């Protein structure tokens, strides 16, 4: 676009709602992800298939890989467990189904060729990927649980404060045995219930108010357990997620990253206060986090402002250490592998309406379209349908840091030129400002659409100003950096 480079540029700042406006953060970064110190669009959720849905409210979702690298996605509601087959949710429950009515979630974990599922008050379930078409079944002798995870050659289950682990490399054996190294231990009551079990070579046990590190010690002890955090733990069953050797988690007091030895804050003086004030705390167990490896971002969905369901999304950019947010509506939020396409699902490929379409004819048979392996955030909407963030761009609102055009005097803004890779037709802008000092209320000018050359003609007079940019939903845009502005003094006094 034909924006002038001789005008001052106000950059889009960091969204940090916990800070006072006088510290000069941006007041808005909505529907976007911070990348390379600019902002990029957040994609809308899109169903992976019309029949990829549970019969009742979805209370569990996870994805795994078999020995060939093919992805497998599982879902659960209060009565059934499902496997996504051909982008359709197929009932793979044990005979008779389940009664899972508490305000909790199904949790899944893989060990070898088997996928295990736990829910409080329900017998631990297992599904064998190597057997092909099959169904879940009770795991004889296994404890019931709320949390499940794998550490080294052990499957671990948490139920209240009771932590149990299977025999060495054998999740079919759970009875105490020094020789087989299976056993259990009761964790400290003040730490609360076990919510998440994560780890690889070492384990991290997240209670509600405590974090323990597990180190394999061999028989007869099996595990050395060290308490590394007190009065801080995971707020929910889906409240922690791994990325590399780090674990990002949500606690009662905000957002943290745990490296196995200590926690570092990532939301303090930025969004922790915003989150804790807006969270509907009685429904805190519905807080869900997921890692977006493509955008290197942590996504947290939570029930806000009295809602009993997920209705707000916080987004943390690891590369930029900056936050953004968006409105949100979902039953559950999690992670799954990207699904490739096969002969049964080729007609759902974008642009295709059958296997003879040109959009498919250009693809080689070994295309990555058919052999996807990346992971991605996912959710279910209130029709219980599984969705991923692959749709059109969400509507976006960005705001610059506060600036003064003429020192201590009032200034009059007459033009705004957004610095963003986008069609002018998708852009509009306004100016918000304060006439005097920090105590003054903030007002907004009329919103002006961009002309064909990218200029937004606004008229606004104030002492302290911010430019606000609106980007229409569904538009193709990227790299929003800031807004050039044309201003002049507005008076002699």
Average confidence (pLDDT) per 10 residues, the chain, 493 residues: 72 91 79 95 95 96 91 96 95 95 90 96 96 90 97 97 97 96 96 95 95 95 95 96 93 95 95 97 96 94 96 96 95 87 50 49 59 83 96 96 73 89 95 72 89 91 87 96 85 53
Question: Can you tell me the distance from the alpha carbon of 67 to that of 256, in angstroms, rounded to the nearest whole number?
Answer: 34
Tokens of 395: 């509507």
Nearest-10 Cα torsion for 475, 477, 482, 488: -50
The answer to whether 207 touches 193, Cβ cutoff 8 Å, is yes
Which of these, 170, 169, 143, lies nearest to 157 by C-alpha position?
143
Instruction: Give me the pLDDT at residue 357, please.
Output: 53
Cβ contacts of 479 within 8 Å, gap of 6 or more: 36, 38, 39, 40, 420, 421
Instruction: Give me the pLDDT at residue 354, please.
Output: 44
Dihedral angle sign, alpha carbons of residues 481, 487, 490, 492? positive
Burial grade of 334 (CB within 10 A; 0-12, 13-18, 19 or more): buried
Q: If you search the block for the tokens 């007002």, which residue do you land on?
A: 443
Q: Which pairs count as long-range contacts for 151-154, CB under 8 Å and 24+ apart, including other chains?
A: 151/197, 151/199, 151/200, 151/201, 151/202, 151/203, 151/214, 151/216, 152/200, 152/201, 152/203, 152/216, 154/181
Which of these, 399, 452, 414, 449, lies nearest to 428 by C-alpha position?
449
Which of these, 488, 485, 492, lies nearest to 8 by C-alpha position?
485
Element holding 198 (H helix, E strand): strand 194-199
Question: Can you tell me the distance from the alpha carbon of 356 to that of 364, in angstroms, rounded to the nearest whole number?
Answer: 14
Question: Can you tell me the distance from the alpha carbon of 180 to that of 174, in angstroms, rounded to the nearest whole number?
Answer: 9
Question: Can you tell me the distance from the alpha carbon of 484 to that of 413, in angstroms, rounded to the nearest whole number?
Answer: 11
What is the DSSP secondary structure assignment for residue 132, as one 8-state letter?
Answer: S
Tokens of 55: 């019969």
Instruction: Give me the pLDDT at residue 352, please.
Output: 44
Q: How many CA atoms lie within 13 A of 107 on its CB side?
A: 30
* φ, ψ dihedrals at 281, nearest 5°: -60, -40
Q: How far is CA 246 from CA 144, 213, 242, 256, in A?
A: 28, 13, 6, 10
Q: Is 257 helix (H, G, I), strand (E, B) or coil?
A: strand
**In the chain, helix, strand, coil percent, each to 5?**
5, 50, 45
The answer to whether 206 touches 233, Cβ cutoff 8 Å, is yes
Cβ contacts of 133 within 8 Å, gap of 6 or more: none
Task: Count, in order, helices (H) and strands (E) of the chain.
Answer: 2, 40
Q: How far is CA 393 from CA 32, 44, 428, 471, in A?
A: 9, 6, 16, 9
């Amino acid at each position: 676009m034909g924006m002038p480079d001789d005008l001052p540029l106000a950059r889009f700042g960091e969204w940090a709602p916990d800070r006072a406006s006088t510290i000069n953060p941006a007041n808005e970064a909505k529907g976007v992800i911070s990348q390379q110190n600019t902002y990029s669009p957040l994609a809308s959720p899109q169903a992976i298939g019309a029949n990829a849905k549970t019969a009742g409210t979805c209370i569990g979702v996870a994805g795994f890989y078999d020995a060939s690298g093919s992805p497998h996605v599982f879902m659960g509601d209060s009565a059934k467990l499902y496997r996504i087959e051909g982008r359709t949710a197929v009932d793979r429950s044990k005979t008779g189904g389940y009664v899972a009515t508490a305000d909790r979630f199904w949790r899944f974990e893989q060990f070898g060729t088997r996928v295990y599922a736990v829910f409080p008050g329900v017998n631990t379930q297992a599904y064998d990927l190597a057997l092909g078409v099959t169904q879940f079944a009770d795991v004889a002798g296994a404890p019931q649980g709320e949390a499940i995870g794998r550490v080294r050659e052990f499957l671990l289950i948490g139920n209240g404060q009771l932590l149990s682990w299977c025999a060495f490399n054998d999740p079919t054996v759970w009875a105490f045995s020094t020789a087989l190294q299976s056993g259990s231990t009761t964790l400290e009551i003040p730490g609360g219930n076990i919510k998440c079990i994560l780890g690889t070579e070492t384990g991290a046990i997240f209670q509600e108010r405590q974090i323990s590190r597990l180190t394999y010690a061999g028989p007869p002890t099996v595990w050395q357990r060290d308490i590394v955090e007190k009065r801080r733990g995971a707020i929910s069953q889906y409240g922690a997620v791994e990325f590399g050797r780090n674990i990002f988690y949500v606690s009662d007091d905000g957002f943290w990253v745990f490296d196995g030895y200590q926690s570092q804050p990532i939301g303090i003086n930025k969004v922790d206060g915003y989150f804790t004030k807006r969270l509907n705390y009685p429904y805190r167990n519905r807080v869900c986090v997921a890692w977006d490896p493509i955008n290197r971002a942590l996504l947290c969905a939570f029930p806000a402002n009295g809602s009993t369901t997920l209705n707000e999304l916080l987004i943390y950019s690891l590369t930029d250490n900056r936050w953004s947010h968006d409105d949100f509506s979902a039953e559950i939020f999690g992670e799954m592998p990207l699904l490739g396409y096969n002969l049964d699902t080729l007609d759902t490929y974008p642009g295709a309406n059958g296997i003879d379409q040109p959009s498919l004819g250009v693809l080689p048979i070994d295309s990555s379209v058919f052999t996807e392996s990346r992971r991605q955030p996912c959710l279910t909407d209130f029709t219980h349908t599984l969705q991923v963030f692959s749709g059109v761009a969400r509507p976006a609102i960005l705001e610059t840091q506060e600036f003064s055009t003429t020192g201590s005097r009032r200034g009059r803004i007459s033009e705004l030129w957004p610095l963003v890779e986008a069609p002018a037709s998708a852009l509009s802008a306004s100016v918000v400002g304060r006439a005097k000092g920090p105590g003054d209320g903030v007002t907004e000018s009329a919103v002006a659409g961009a002309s064909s050359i990218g200029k937004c003609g606004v008229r606004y007079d104030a002492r302290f100003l911010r430019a606000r940019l609106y980007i229409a939903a569904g538009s193709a845009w990227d790299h929003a950096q800031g807004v050039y502005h044309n201003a002049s003094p507005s008076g002699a006094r």
